[in-house]
Chains A and B, each alone.
Chain A
Amino acid sequence: MSETALPDRTGAFQARLRKRYASERRFKALGLCAVLFSVGVLAILLVTMTMNGIGGFQRAELAVPVDFSKAELAIDPQRLNDKDAIQALELAGLPLLIDNSAEQTLGRKAADELGSEAWREAARDIIADPSLLKRKAVLNLPTSKDLASALRGDGHEELRAQARDLVAKGQLARNFDPGFLARADATDAQMVGIWGALKGSMLTMFVTLLLAFPVGVLAALYLEEYAAKNRWTEIIEVSINNLAAVPSIIFGLLGLAVFLWIFPNYRSAPLIGGMTLALMTMPVIVISGRNAIKAVPPSIRDGALAIGASPVQVVFHHVLPLALPGILTGTIIGMARALGETAPLLMIGMRAFVATPPDGFTSPATALPVQIFLWSDEIDRGFVERTSAAIIILLIFLLVMNGLAIYLRNRFEKKW
């Protein structure tokens, strides 16, 4: 038997082993730090947004007891189902009734601080529940923006004292404002809603998807499956790659110069917005689509061709279904980018003040990021919280889209 030590017993070997383990530990620790850092940043973002944004889903409201049974509004309950029910209630004297009721219970000074649109909220309550007209009820109605900011601790000392007084009597409070999700833009932070912008964004995204997805997928299929590999396809490929890197405002200029020149009447419309964003999204879909198509094993194509499938059948029966998860992922990434895009929409006029939700693809609209941008520009402090709330809505929209992408990917993913 020889006396030489086994190779794994020598000092040099042990030292190398220790070094290797140490470097492995270092690498692990660094990786963990990177992950913790990004998770931390994300958590901070979400927490601050939620803290700021929670207030945006609330507003200052006065509790106004109204006795409809005594006041007898002169209105036929049938009329409440009509489209112009609010005007009918106005003619029947609802604003005056609200004002008088407020004066009786809260006093003249507080009644003056009821928002000028408060009676509309009362009208909506009545339309939602016509039985109100026969009884006594306490309505929570929005205050003026001055009282709202006094409640927040800003403004005149006199008004702040009044706010404190009303709060002490239980007549003034910040309540959850479900209407924020149903109304559109307004000049008064107490009366704004996000639905107008949300609907505008949805309509715009729908147009974008409808244009960018088929065009992008067909272009990707053509370039990968049919186009001869020559200088021309190379030039097209480079152009598409560059298109994906063009700053978004350039697309806005293009939309302004081309689409609005062709359709001058559709300024601010989701149709034009969607077309503009589709230009931006399409190259992303083409690039991700080509990668997904390239990843389909050639053996699958050979197998299909060898039993007599035509090239089109190979593409639509085999290549496309296998590439679909990748294409969908790319599409959602492109769409998410388009959803958050502000600059091109500003260029084509989707920054207008639009007080009613759009009722179609051609009516004036704004979009979530633009709305956020517009509100963040307001001086009134009430808009700060509303802006955060709008950001939360935008983030939720994005999360839903990403969730959909993950679902679709898992649903269509095939193993081979």
Chain B
Amino acid sequence: MVTTLPATATMLPESELSDPQSGLIPKMSARSVSVYYGAKQAVDDVSIDIQTKYVTAFIGPSGCGKSTFLRALNRMNDTIPGARVDGEIMLDGEDIYRSGMDVVHLRARVGMVFQKPNPFPKSIYENIAYGPRIHGLAEGKAELDAIVEKSLRRAGLWEEVKDRLADSGTALSGGQQQRLCIARAIAVDPEVILMDEPCSALDPIATAKIEELIDELRGRYAIVIVTHSMQQAARVSQRTAFFHLGKMVEYGKTSDIFTNPREERTKDYITGRYG
């Protein structure tokens, strides 16, 4: 069914994809990426450039392959038996699927935050310190303490937890847990942060905090966020890609996508014709 769809996706010309206005070279770029689960194709021929300066949102009806494509960007699909990726995904011009690529190093550079907050059942401190420790980013306790504080501050959690760093990370509220997970990702100093519906398990107030946080982190990291809420995409992102049935239908400035979509299907989705 996915494959029978006519290839009507508006592929922007190469020049436009790399965003000449900004004059930036892309942090990550995908070329003709298809992802398969066994015989089933979940992502079909997607090409996209992701810039450091922006928050990029992936929107689209559920089951259209947003998570699958996102997980292809840091090779988290490797852990799923039978998953296969075709095409090229570059990080700073280097193909992440080439043989000899160190996946562990890649995932330190391209961090990920999941739909459901998943702090380790360890102390708040340990949650943050774990990544820097396994990557040898800190010499001694003082440096590690500094990284923990910096990461928690960036995630806007420091004031709330500084007096109980030894408490379990799982004892925090859902929103705090999600910010802890963001801090955990930040702690290993990534270049790209992928977020898969990071607010879908949170209440509106916690959601607002995360959105604020994403806005603060913008510019420092390339951020890609999958969301099912178009309002959220409009609020936090500068670039939006619309996915449908495994294909990327349209990609462009968020304001253009929401006010002036070029594709009929994008318009239908945005106006709530289906979802």
Contacts and interface: CB of A to CB of B under 8 A. Distances in A.
A196 B79 CA distance: 53
Given A306-B185, A307-B107, A308-B107, A414 B121 contact: yes
A318 interface: yes
A313 B74 CA distance: 18
Interface string A317-345: 11000100000000000000000000000
B76 A306 contact: yes
A250 interface: no
Q: How large is the interface on A (under 10, 10 to 19, 20 to 34, 35 or more residues)?
A: 20 to 34
Contact of B120 (A310, A318, A415): A318
Interface string B116-154: 101111000000001100110000000000000000000
Interface string B163-176: 00000101000000
Contact of A306 (B74, B81, B116, B168): B74
A214 interface: no
A352 interface: no
B134 A313 contact: yes
Contacts of B107: 305-308
Interface residues of B, number: 29
Nearest to B133: A317
B64 to A, nearest CB: 21
B170 A416 contact: yes
Contacts of B134: 307-309, 313, 317
Contact of B81 (A229, A304, A309, A310): A229
Interface stretch (A102-110, A198-206, A295-303): A295-303
B120 A300 contact: yes
Given A228-B81, A229-B81, A300-B121, A415 B168 contact: yes
Contacts of B168: 414-415
Nearest to A318: B120
B135 A308 contact: yes
Contacts of A310: 104
Interface in A286-301: 297, 299-301
Contacts of A313: 134
A299 B114 contact: yes
Contacts of B228: none
B118 A307 contact: no
Nearest to B107: A308
A303 B114 contact: yes
B226 interface: no
Contacts of B57: none
Interface of A is mostly: helix
A308 B121 contact: no
Contacts of B185: 306-307
Contacts of B76: 302, 305-306
Contacts of B66: none
B121 A303 contact: no
Contacts of A301: 79
Given A307-B184, A307-B185, A415-B170, A302 B114 contact: yes
Nearest to A303: B118
Interface string A205-233: 00000000000000000000000110000
Interface in B91-121: 104-108, 111-114, 116, 118-121
Contact of B116 (A299, A307, A317, A322): A299
A200 to B, nearest CB: 41
A308 B105 contact: yes
A403 to B, nearest CB: 25
A315 B95 CA distance: 28
Contact of B130 (A229, A302, A307, A414): A307
Contacts of A322: 121
A322 B122 CA distance: 10
A323 to B, nearest CB: 12
A302 to B, nearest CB: 6
Nearest to B117: A299
Contacts of A229: 81
A306 B131 CA distance: 10
12 contacts: A228-B81, A299-B116, A300-B118, A300-B121, A302-B79, A302-B114, A304-B130, A307-B184, A308-B134, A309-B131, A309-B134, A318-B120
4 pairs of A and B residues whose beta carbons are closest in the complex: A308-B108, A299-B118, A306-B112, A307-B131
Given A303-B184, A307-B130, A309-B130, 5 more contacts: A300-B118, A302-B79, A308-B108, A308-B131, A308-B134
